[in-house]
Amino acid sequence: MQKYRLKFTIGDIFPPDDIVSQKIISLFMAFNDSMLVFKLMKKEEFSPTSEGSLLYLFRLHCSHLREAFQVLNDMEEKSEVKNILDKFPEKAKEKFIQLKDGNVRVHKVLEKIRHNFFHYLDPKKKISKNIKSALEKMKNNESEISFKGDKLKGLHFKIADDIALTILEEQTKGVGGIKEAMSLIAEVQGNFLRFINNFCEIYFEPYKIVETENKANNKQ
């Protein structure tokens, strides 16, 4: 597969004082982060006994996508960005609407997971309420804490994974459970990728695309 890169002087395309440039860079950050986590997730297999690695990546993925939508909503209010969106082909416009407004239930899942798993300090007691509910539900279940040797090497709290899994099961009920939520959010990531492709084609149109060596040559 041929690889391409766009070479530019940063200030020529993204002036430091330009608010739209700042928003676009934020969007690109969210895209990079969400794609990285998505690729890592694809290497894992869903299992309640996977020590929480996949569940953590899923929660992180949801968080990145939630932040990306926040940036998108903010960007859409800028006239410069609206001008770019207006130039989208009709199918691309449909994909953008599907991305931003498509599945309300999925967006609610993203919001719940973002707000309930990445704020360990809990002044509003929402997280504590979820943990209490999960503890009540699992109070007769067995769990464990594992480590190696007397130095607690490899210390891992499976109890935390068990509680996180129980909370996720509750929060993804509206879309059919965790596996279905993962599938739907993978579709959202695909739409995000298509949106970024369309956006970049138009935004970078005035600038020169420079072709690099293909991957086969890079390996030599």
Half-sphere exposure of 88 (CA within 13 A, CB side): 20
- pLDDT band at 45; cut points 50, 70, 90: low
pTM: 0.80
- pLDDT band at 107; cut points 50, 70, 90: confident
Percent of the chain past pLDDT 70, that is, above it, reads 85
- pLDDT band at 30; cut points 50, 70, 90: very high
The backbone torsions φ and ψ at residue 151, rounded to the nearest 5 degrees and listed phi first, read -100, 10
Q: Helices in 76-125 by DSSP H: which ranges?
A: 79-86, 90-101, 104-117
pLDDT of residue 37: 93
Residue 161: what residue type?
D
Q: Mutual orientation of helices 178-203 and 79-86 as an angle, nearest 10°?
A: 90
pLDDT of residue 139: 95
- Residues with Cβ within 8 Å of residue 40, at least 6 apart in sequence: 57
| Burial (0-12, 13-18, 19+ Cβ within 10 Å), 87 | middle
Quick check: 196 and 187 in contact, CB under 8 A?
A: no
Of 214, 216, 193, 213, nearest to 30 (Cα)? 193
What is the residue extent of each domain of the chain?
A: 4-219
Secondary structure (3-state) at 46: coil
Residue 193 has a CB neighbour count (10 Å cut-off) of 15
Tell me the per-residue pLDDT of 54-73, one tens digit each, with 9 for 90 and over: 888 998 999 899 888 888 88
Q: Is the pLDDT of residue 209 over 60?
A: no
Quick check: 58 and 41 in contact, CB under 8 A?
A: yes
- pLDDT band at 218; cut points 50, 70, 90: very low
Separation between Cα atoms, residue 203 and residue 22, nearest integer Å: 14
